[in-house]
Structure 1
Amino acid sequence: MGKIMKILLFVIFYEAIPCLGQAGGGDEAKTLVNNLFASYSTIVRPNKDYTKPMNVDLDMILVGINGLDEVEGKLTTTGYLSVRWTDEYLTWDTGDVMQLYVPQDRIWKPDLTLKNGFTKLTTLGSEFILTQILNIGLVWWQPFEVFESKCTIDITHFPFDQQTCDLVFVVWTYFIDDVNVTKGADGISTEDMEESAEWSIVSTSAKEDKEGTESKVTFTLTIQRSSGYYIFNIIIPVVFLGLLNVFTYVLPADSGEKMGYAMTVFLSFAVFLTIVSSELPKSSGSYFGYYLMVLLGFGVITVCITALELRMHHSQRKVPGWVEKLMRCACCCCCCEDNRVDDLGNAKKKENVTWSDFTSFVDFVMFWILFIAFIVLTVIVMIVLKLRVKM
């Protein structure tokens, strides 16, 4: 109840500030400051009863998401904290001055810091930031910072991935019996946030934890990658190259262009992958990365089979008996018995199987195997990525 009353009083005084701005004068404010800070110490915790902890309320106002480094696991955000506490040594009930603005280094303030920061610990805020002090002793401090925090990255569903990152703020030195940090009523505010080209906010949350002698407030951001750029510049070209690779088996061996076409598609795939690698996260474990490797494997299989087909197609050796049996069994199963028609219009079976027939048979089988495998694999991978299915 006491905490709620303090917040209500703060809101009432904050709303009344424009009306009170003309009250009092410079001389009165100067006298008040001299009286308040004559014996004030910035190293003494400003609550008169040390058996009770100093309660510090903490909110975060997010201004923007600067970037997320997947390799280093670093989230960079811009924002400022809204820190509130009651300083029992900065109260007054005389005169018309209802509030003061004092540099942050002139008063006691909790040694708040980002616990999971990516760089060394530094003091929040800067010298030119002022704290607002109301006559009831309520202090409002808003340090502005560019926060670099550690974040565990999961790119399994790249480029449709979501990342959840925490910003953990603690009072570094004081025990929980001295200073107790609690989350404010707003948690994380995104009203002043500028939209990022690559990341968008999915959800935010804030919670307060107490671990042993430490109290902390954790602000959690769930962000989602904007996938439009990657769809049009990476996914669609990769799918088209994979489809072109399958259609290598449509070209007849006699055309003379089959090997050249297969190598051209394979090299195009390889060159494109080197370009794409600069756009992909360097971390391992992406389903899309596995998809690229499978398509590259399809390309290797196609080049190898095409080389063997051309070798067999121009071979002068007799087709082995097991090859003829294999083809005849396959034709019987598929109801594709090879018949020819003589001059009298009578159908007769083809007696000998040539290497040309065998390579055509291999082309037919490989086309449908790879085509079906390619379609099924592409559909499954896209569904898994889009719906972020855990496998």
Structure 2
Amino acid sequence: MQSEEGSYNAHRYLLTRVLQNYSKDIRPVSKHMDPIEVFINVMPKALINYDEINGVLHMSFALELSWIDEILNWDPSLNHNISFLRIPATQVWTPRLFCLNAIDNIAMDKATSENVLYDYKGSAIYLMGLQSSTLCPPNSMYFPFDIQVCYIDVISSLSFYEETFIANAVIYDVFEQNPLWDLLNIRISVVRNEQGQLLIFRIMVKLQRRHAFFMVTIFTPIVFLAFVNLFVFVIPVDSGERISYAITVLLSFTVFLSLVTDNTPKSSLTISLFSVYMFMVLLYSFLITLSVVVILDIYFTNKDQAPKWNLSKMVVWGLKKERSKVQRSVITVLPKTDDTEYAEKTTKTDDPHDVDYKTISSALDKFFIRFYSLLFTLITVTFMTVIALDDK
């Protein structure tokens, strides 16, 4: 008990003595022209959230600052072999740091009495636990396969000839994974601003979105809906369900487009390729609905009348013209007779303008189901190819 009391008194006496003529407002250097070198280690704790809609990165991390205090030192042999002291940060000089791109409070130092660890030579280690909210403009072009690069810019209250930063290391020992974003890399560096008058300690945070959720809940249902949309050409025309079926699928695509829009930044600087893909699929479904209307108009037209819709009339006119060309080119070679060696005559056909509208609508069903299958495949393959090339 007496030994513990003696150790306590020795620490208290040493703390009082080293702080007796110490001022926390003056840089602890023996020559006022010498800058203080502050070594910085970054220890990321957690990626709290990246709000790509508003372009804000919320992150929890610690900064381990170390420097040499030329004023605060002692001889252990004269002070009960005490080699280390923990002194409240409010009583000694510490670097005052500010975050340039913070969205709220730019001051990074806290008013709490965190301790600074000193050894007898004056080496100081100060650990700052922080939660930062910094601006990070999103790049959503390759959503949901996008990679975001954010910067946390830290400066000192002193000029660069009074205090210099030295980027030391990034320590991932305590980092916890985020369910939505994967932390690819953190790099630290010391740069100067464009005017060369400000020294900036820059933390670069590189993130990649975990896209499995979006692939399962958005992309896969879109592919299934696009495939199911083709079945509208298989439904019997007389059932009267074709229009309602096509419009239902079209509205489903509209819902998925709104989901994509809600999860991407509302910016005209970078438009998501996935939004473009969704728009193309929506256009694909609209064209299918339009084709169904044309087929129904042709199917329910009487034989002695013309379709009511102008687009349907153009389709029928084009088919009649093509059928007329084919019929004029059909020639039958007759066998040899007594009067002539060979006889050729044109095959008699029906009036080219006499067309069975139900046959035309059936032919259009077969054509459109092949055409739109090819169109959707082309749209999807193009989208996936562009994404794959970007990943490389």
Give the TM-score of the pair, scaled to structure 2. Answer: 0.83
Residues 109 and 360 of structure 1: CA distance in aligned 2, closer, same or farther (over 3 Å)? same
Structure 1 partner of 2:294: 308
Kindly state the Cα deviation for residue 236 of structure 1 after the two structures are TM-superposed. 0.3
Aligned pairs for 1:314-353 (under 5 A) are: 314-316=300-302, 317-318=305-306, 322-327=318-323, 352-353=354-355
3-state SS, counterpart of residue 183 of structure 2: strand
Aligned pairs for 1:196-275 (under 5 A) are: 196-211=178-193, 212-275=196-259
What are the Cα deviations for residues 317-349 of structure 1, in whole angstroms up to 9, with x where unaligned?
A: 15865531135669999x9xxxxxxxxxxx996
Partners in 2 of 1:47 and 1:157 — Cα distance?
51
Residues 321 and 163 of structure 1: CA distance in aligned 2, closer, same or farther (over 3 Å)? closer
- Identity %, equivalent residues: 23
Give the TM-score of the pair, scaled to structure 1. Answer: 0.83
Structure 1 partner of 2:68: 86
Residues 71 and 276 of structure 1: CA distance in aligned 2, closer, same or farther (over 3 Å)? closer
Structure 1 partner of 2:385: 383
Aligned equivalent of 2:135, options 147, 150, 154: 150
Kindly state the Cα deviation for residue 355 of structure 1 after the two structures are TM-superposed. 2.0
Structure 2 partner of 1:137: 122
Does residue 50 (structure 1) correspond to residue 52 (structure 2)? The answer is: no
Kindly state the Cα deviation for residue 74 of structure 1 after the two structures are TM-superposed. 0.7
Structure 2 partner of 1:361: 363
Aligned equivalent of 1:65, options 37, 47, 57: 47
Aligned equivalent of 2:56, options 66, 74, 77: 74
Aligned equivalent of 1:117, options 96, 102, 105: 102
Residues 329 and 78 of structure 1: CA distance in aligned 2, closer, same or farther (over 3 Å)? farther
Contact 2:108 2:130 survives alignment (8 Å):
no
Structure 1 partner of 2:7: 25
Contact 1:160 1:388 survives alignment (8 Å):
no
Structure 2 partner of 1:296: 282
Amino acid at match of 1:313: Y
Aligned equivalent of 2:273, options 265, 287, 290: 287
3-state SS, counterpart of residue 223 of structure 2: helix
Contact 1:25 1:97 survives alignment (8 Å):
no
What are the Cα deviations for residues 120-141 of structure 1, in whole angstroms up to 9, with x where unaligned?
A: 2224244132111111111111
Q: More deviation in 243-252 or 38-47?
A: 243-252
What are the Cα deviations for residues 166-203 of structure 1, in whole angstroms up to 9, with x where unaligned?
A: 111111x311111111111x1x2211101111111212
Partners in 1 of 2:357 and 2:107 — Cα distance?
76
Residues 261 and 89 of structure 1: CA distance in aligned 2, closer, same or farther (over 3 Å)? same
Structure 1 partner of 2:113: 128
Partners in 2 of 1:112 and 1:91 — Cα distance?
24
Does residue 164 (structure 1) correspond to residue 149 (structure 2)? The answer is: yes
Partners in 1 of 2:207 and 2:326 — Cα distance?
54
Kindly state the Cα deviation for residue 294 of structure 1 after the two structures are TM-superposed. 1.0
Kindly state the Cα deviation for residue 82 of structure 1 after the two structures are TM-superposed. 0.6
Residues 89 and 270 of structure 1: CA distance in aligned 2, closer, same or farther (over 3 Å)? same
Kindly state the Cα deviation for residue 108 of structure 1 after the two structures are TM-superposed. 0.8
Kindly state the Cα deviation for residue 210 of structure 1 after the two structures are TM-superposed. 2.9
Amino acid at match of 2:49: G
Structure 2 residues without counterparts, runs of 5 or longer = 307-312, 331-346
Higher Rg: 2
Partners in 2 of 1:203 and 1:373 — Cα distance?
39
Structure 1 partner of 2:338: none
Contact 1:54 1:179 survives alignment (8 Å):
yes
Partners in 1 of 2:350 and 2:370 — Cα distance?
25
Partners in 1 of 2:107 and 2:63 — Cα distance?
15
Residues 224 and 48 of structure 1: CA distance in aligned 2, closer, same or farther (over 3 Å)? same
Structure 1 residues without counterparts, runs of 5 or longer = 1-21, 336-346
Give the length in aligned residue pairs.
354
Kindly state the Cα deviation for residue 379 of structure 1 after the two structures are TM-superposed. 1.8
Amino acid at match of 1:189: I
Kindly state the Cα deviation for residue 278 of structure 1 after the two structures are TM-superposed. 3.9
Contact 1:124 1:144 survives alignment (8 Å):
no
Aligned pairs for 1:184-195 (under 5 A) are: 184=168, 186=169, 188-195=170-177
Kindly state the Cα deviation for residue 358 of structure 1 after the two structures are TM-superposed. 2.5
Partners in 2 of 1:355 and 1:198 — Cα distance?
55
Kindly state the Cα deviation for residue 387 of structure 1 after the two structures are TM-superposed. 4.5
Partners in 2 of 1:69 and 1:332 — Cα distance?
68
Contact 1:24 1:97 survives alignment (8 Å):
no
Partners in 2 of 1:72 and 1:124 — Cα distance?
26
Partners in 2 of 1:328 and 1:147 — Cα distance?
75
Structure 2 partner of 1:5: none
